[in-house]
Amino acid sequence: MEHFLDCSRIVNRWNRDTPPRLWVAPGDRVTLQMKDASDGQVWPGISPEEFAQLDPLRIHALTGPVGIEGAEPGDRLVIEIESYEHEGWAWTSIMPGLGLLPDDFPNRFLHIWKLEDGVTRSMPGLEIPLAPFCGIIGVQPAASGEFRTRPPGINGGNMDVRHLTAGSRLHLPVLTPGAGLCAGDCHAAQGDGEVSINGMEAPMTVRFKIDLLKKAPLTGPYVECPGPLEPEAFRTCAHHLFVESDEDAREAARRVVRRAVDYLVQRLGLSPEQAYVTCSVVLRLKISQLVNVPMITITGYLPEAIFLEPSRQLPA
């Protein structure tokens, strides 16, 4: 059976006592209309003064809950992601005190992306492929009470796993009767790390197929991703790798991102803020090694395919 749930009412807290807006049976499909993460507080043409009034307590705007008939704790929910449909725009920001480099970027900044035929050309000198996914897909937690949506957990939630694209299947443990599935925080694209605090935040319509495995417990979320893991443009192109090692993985990551920001500024003439939000939506941060105690090595991968013009310039 097919179902549809609009975004006229959203939730922005996890709460096992929130009643489902919709009940579906295992095997059913459900199409969810989702606002952007800001709950509609950002739009193309928004002024800096209006953006400064954004209420962070309304983040994230999730559609749901969806109850699954027969779901009980100890079961497993299997969500097959069938499609994403964006609305032609997205946004990425810098928010004071947030992100990986809050001291480097203390001022509020907003970039609006125009989404075209599978790409965006909204940053000077760049063409970035789109790879839409939900930043948040989760079920209601076992604990009673109301909880902010920012921290992910055993229930899934704000995982920001960019491979939750169409074709993937997400397995989540059922923690409450009916499961209480909620989803939102859709991104048109995102780098590994989401370093400025956002991916390309976008309103979307998403279609899921819902299945239920009885008595199939999980200790945490699990994803079946059919691949490929990268957009076609990135799979065979050259990459720029920025490598840093430190006893503190976050400090190594900070130095990687600073170097990538500097490279984008030097090569394209972007402002540091433009370069930072570009890193948030395209730079891939990877753990290269953990075994050479006490040092941890982090590498940032910047695909050459995003650049509209080639360059022989070498980074510092």
- What does the pLDDT look like over 126-153, one tens digit per residue? 999 999 999 999 999 999 999 999 999 9
Mean pLDDT, residues 297-314 taken together? 89
**What proportion of the chain, given as a percentage, has pLDDT over 70?**
98
Q: Residue 316 pLDDT > 90, yes or no?
A: no
Model confidence band, residue 49 (pLDDT cutoffs 50, 70, 90): very high
Q: Residue 2 pLDDT > 80, yes or no?
A: yes
**What proportion of the chain, given as a percentage, has pLDDT over 90?**
97
pTM of the model: 0.95
Distance CA 38, CA 241 (A): 33
Q: Tell me, what amino acid is at 219?
A: T
Other Cβ atoms within 10 Å of 78 Cβ, number: 18
Mean pLDDT, residues 283-303 taken together? 98
Q: Residue 313 pLDDT > 80, yes or no?
A: no
The answer for residues whose C-beta is within 8 angstroms of residue 87's C-beta and 6 or more apart is: 202, 203, 204
Distance CA 79, CA 209 (A): 6
- Looking at every residue in the chain, the average pLDDT score rounds to 97
- For 216-254, the pLDDT digits (tens) are 999 999 999 999 999 999 999 999 999 999 999 999 999
What interhelical angle do 272-282 and 249-268 show, nearest 10? 120
The residues with which 94 forms a beta bridge, in sequence order, are 109
Model confidence band, residue 8 (pLDDT cutoffs 50, 70, 90): very high
Q: Residue 315 pLDDT > 90, yes or no?
A: no
Q: Residue 273 pLDDT > 80, yes or no?
A: yes
- For 58-87, the pLDDT digits (tens) are 999 999 999 999 999 999 999 999 999 999
Which contacts qualify for 94-98: CB closer than 8 Å, 24 or more apart?
A: 94/196, 94/197, 94/273, 94/276, 94/277, 95/56, 95/197, 98/197
Question: What are the chain's domains?
Answer: 2-224 (2.60.120.580), 233-306 (3.10.28.20)
> Which phi-psi region, left, alpha or beta, contains residue 167 (left: φ > 0; alpha: ψ -120 to 50)?
left
Distance CA 279, CA 281 (A): 5
The answer for residues whose C-beta is within 8 angstroms of residue 234's C-beta and 6 or more apart is: 129, 303, 305
Mean pLDDT, residues 80-109 taken together? 98
Model confidence band, residue 311 (pLDDT cutoffs 50, 70, 90): confident
Distance CA 77, CA 70 (A): 11
Q: Where are the alpha helices (DSSP H) in the chain?
A: 48-51, 232-235, 249-268, 272-282
pLDDT at 117: 85
